[in-house]
Chains A and B, each alone.
Chain A
Amino acid sequence: MKISLGRISLICMIVATTLIVAGCTGSSNTADLHSGSSAPADAPASSPQDEPVTVTFVWEKLTDEEKEAWNESYIEPFQRKYPHIHIDFQSVPEARDVVKVQLVSGQGPDLFIMANPADLKEYADAGLVADLDPYVKKYGWDTIMFSWALDATKVNGTTYAVPHGYEALLLYYNQDIMDRNGWQAPQNGEQWEEILKQAQAQDLIPIAYGAADPAYYEWIIGYYLNNFAGAAEIKKALQGHAKLTDPFFQGAFETMKQHWEAGYISDKQTAALSSDDSRSLFYQGKALFTFEGSWLAGEVDNIPFNFGVGSFPSLREGVPSTVPIGIGASIAINKSSKSADAAAEFLNFIYTEEQRIAESVGAGLQPLSRTVDAALFPDTMNPKAVNILNILQNTVKDPAHVGYTPWTFFPGKTDQYLYDNLNSVFYGKISVSEYLQGAQEILDQDLKDGFRFILP
């Protein structure tokens, strides 16, 4: 039989079309790629699976060093202990958006990072994340993890994620400049303003702080709200017993605005600087203070001078100097995952061995939301990094000085409104009153939608 070139081309075109249509409509075979299936995973199996299973685990974009630390600290030791469970660890840029689309289409990884715990309610309401309460009970996570951190991953009393690293907002300063000028770390608002003024007079940037991405304004909001309004007032407002328009909150933002307008905060250039830019200015010795968090523990080797670290000063009489704490991220299990038990086994593994967690922190990873004996940190760790971690651990034990980071404890939409519109306050487009009025309206809606503030 003679087959013409035209007929062969025709057949190829039909095959190509069929393949494209099959690819676009999404066959069940794609589940192999994503380890997802339609089987619900509400009730975990009681015994570990012995047959080979793959757990896909999506994390945000990591550096090569961080990836190596993850592999050496958690992935490889786990796979040695559980050879039948393969962890497919993927570091994905824009992981939040990528995973969101996958989940909605019934696919997605088994385990994934929830960068902002405040988003958890949306995912839980949409039925995209698995109920982890059976695992909490099975593994006793409530006795291992900080209760406040585990509570932050609950929606209406049900656990939908486990907290990952915990962190605190701290104030870093150039100790060499402080010593040269005989300055002391400020303890209250007056001392704070005085030292900022003196630093400015010496042509220093009093505070290096960049928020080109407005989400970084969560830090400054955390400092000023907790140290002016106070943690107790924040709690009342988020529970609906006080208003964000009350004088304490008004005062916190007015003070912040005054400091910004005076040029203390990056010479009014916060919108023009990224977080990396502000860090760079601090490292170059051009700034006296910088707003950063306990996450800087992994960076201390890059700071070429003596630096000090502590809590933000109290800005109002009667309000103690407060360190806002929170969780950096949480990890959820895909409700469609058919490897949910293995995924939970992995979560349990990374949380249960104190020595391994201490070593992972030594390798540059964030401390997990549980107590770790400081003596277990590797001897090779920079003592300054250990000091930061000790401040973090001690803060958690001292409820009188613990505050709330917006990204962990504020409802998502309220948090977003606050940081998204802060530039409008700084640039005089809206007054502090209007800004807070808007925030209160969003919070009222969040409370109406079922936001419940849980904190000890």
Chain B
Amino acid sequence: MKKLRSTLFVLPSFALHFFIVTLPACTLFYYSFTDWNGLGRPVFNALDNWTRMLKDASFHQAIGNTLVWMLLFLTVPLLLGLFVALLLTQTKRSQMAYRTIFFMPYVVPAVIAGKLFLVFYNPFLGIAQWFDRIGLHALGGISFIGNEKLALYAVAFVDNWHWWGFVMVLMLAALHQVDATLHEAAILDGAGRIRRFASVTIPQIMPTIMTLIMFTIIGSFLTFDYVWIMTQGGPAGATEIAATYIYKQSFLKLETGYASSLSLAIGLSCVAVYLALRVLQKRGVEV
């Protein structure tokens, strides 16, 4: 009876998830093998979508950009967050103030942050003009969004600005959990700061780092808001990432069948990455 009751307590949330997430997600398998515009009847087209995916240069560009995006987020916010968190562990009185300040961008909605930075990036009214006015003429002509070589980094900068404070708070929490006696033992063994950081701190906060890496990898495939708000994937596909490309296929080009196959491919990749990381994590714990 007790077991049944606990199962029934879970049932509402399971039902919600099943009908809103699981069931629609399962239909993706079917639609990925159809020619469907999202309006009429889907027509089975076997592997057409999948062979098209292999030849679709724009999709490959989007995947390439997604990987660049992922690399940026696997390095900049993690390193910055860890570095600042380490500094903050040394401060006592002002730590809360710093934490609040650094965390603040995280609570700014993406649409507001994106629009705000578009004003800064405006080539005629933004910071480029400000550079020009203070005599930095070389930077005066810079176009953050209009230059296809810079655009992806310009958008990623905004998302990093939003994200790194959250990473820092998680790192700080993890650093606070590190057993102080391990450091004391290492000091007695003659370990210096760097050795203690590498051999004590990092292994101790590794579960947090692995979780953040997993979030980042999966999140990179799901990133949509900043790119859509700021560039819609442009110019000329320079900031196109997987999620914006799939959205365009489904909602703008009405190629929902093809978009389903792209989504499924991305989803399966995420599952593969997740499983690989779980294996690595387990091995790490064992070591």
A104: CB under 8 A from chain B?
yes
Cβ–Cβ contact B5 & A10, under 8 A: yes
Q: A97-B251, A272-B143, A429-B236 are in contact. Are A13 and B11 (CB under 8 A)?
A: yes
A267: CB under 8 A from chain B?
yes
Other-chain residue from A103, A119, A267, A424 in contact with B123 (beta carbon distance below 8 A): A267
For residue A388, give the distance in angstroms from its CB to the closest CB of chain B.
26
B167: CB under 8 A from chain A?
no
Cβ–Cβ contact B19 & A24, under 8 A: yes
For residue B178, give the distance in angstroms from its CB to the closest CB of chain A.
41
> Considering the chains assembled together, what is the distance between the CA atoms of A267 and B142 in angstroms?
12
Cβ–Cβ contact A268 & B146, under 8 A: yes
A394: CB under 8 A from chain B?
no
Cβ–Cβ contact B253 & A20, under 8 A: no
User: Across the interface, which residues of B come within 8 angstroms of A286, CB to CB?
Assistant: 124
Among A13, A128, A280, max chain B CB count under 10 A is at A13
For chain B, residues 93 to 146, give those with C-beta under 8 angstroms from any C-beta of chain A: 118, 121-125, 143-146
User: Across the interface, which residues of B come within 8 angstroms of A424, CB to CB?
Assistant: 236-237
Cβ–Cβ contact B15 & A21, under 8 A: yes
Q: A100-B39, A269-B146, A413-B253 are in contact. Are A24 and B15 (CB under 8 A)?
A: yes
Q: A269-B146, A416-B253, A424-B236 are in contact. Are A16 and B40 (CB under 8 A)?
A: no
A127: CB under 8 A from chain B?
yes
> Considering the chains assembled together, what is the distance between the CA atoms of A119 and B251 in angstroms?
11
Other-chain residue from B9, B38, B144, B252 in contact with A13 (beta carbon distance below 8 A): B9
Cβ–Cβ contact B19 & A21, under 8 A: yes
B206: CB under 8 A from chain A?
no
User: Across the interface, which residues of A come within 8 angstroms of B16, CB to CB?
Assistant: 20, 24
User: Across the interface, which residues of B come within 8 angstroms of A52, CB to CB?
Assistant: none
Other-chain residue from B5, B11, B232 in contact with A212 (beta carbon distance below 8 A): B232
For chain A, residues 123 to 154, give those with C-beta under 8 angstroms from any C-beta of chain B: 123, 125-128
Other-chain residue from B37, B146, B236 in contact with A272 (beta carbon distance below 8 A): B146
Number of B residues contacting the other chain (C-beta, 8 Å)? 37
Cβ–Cβ contact B254 & A122, under 8 A: yes
For residue A112, give the distance in angstroms from its CB to the closest CB of chain B.
14
For chain B, residues 144 to 163, give those with C-beta under 8 angstroms from any C-beta of chain A: 144-146, 148, 151
B190: CB under 8 A from chain A?
no
The tally of CB-CB contacts under 8 A between chains A and B is 107
Encoded as 1 (CB less than 8 Å from any A CB) or 0, chain B from 222 to 260 comes to: 000000000110111110000000000001111000000
Other-chain residue from B19, B38, B143, B238 in contact with A269 (beta carbon distance below 8 A): B143
> Considering the chains assembled together, what is the distance between the CA atoms of A416 and B39 in angstroms?
18
A71: CB under 8 A from chain B?
no
8 smallest beta-carbon distances between A and B, as pairs:
A24-B19, A271-B235, A272-B146, A126-B40, A126-B39, A272-B145, A423-B236, A269-B146
Supplied contacts A17-B12, A126-B41, 19 more A-B pairs, CB within 8 Å: A6-B5, A10-B8, A13-B11, A14-B11, A17-B8, A17-B11, A21-B19, A24-B15, A103-B39, A104-B39, A122-B39, A214-B232, A270-B146, A271-B151, A271-B236, A272-B235, A274-B118, A424-B237, A427-B236
A selection of 29 A-B contacts at a CB cut-off of 8 Å is A9-B9, A10-B5, A13-B8, A14-B8, A17-B8, A17-B11, A20-B12, A20-B16, A20-B19, A24-B19, A24-B20, A100-B38, A100-B39, A104-B38, A119-B254, A122-B39, A125-B40, A126-B37, A126-B40, A127-B40, A212-B145, A214-B234, A271-B145, A271-B151, A271-B234, A272-B144, A272-B235, A423-B236, A427-B238
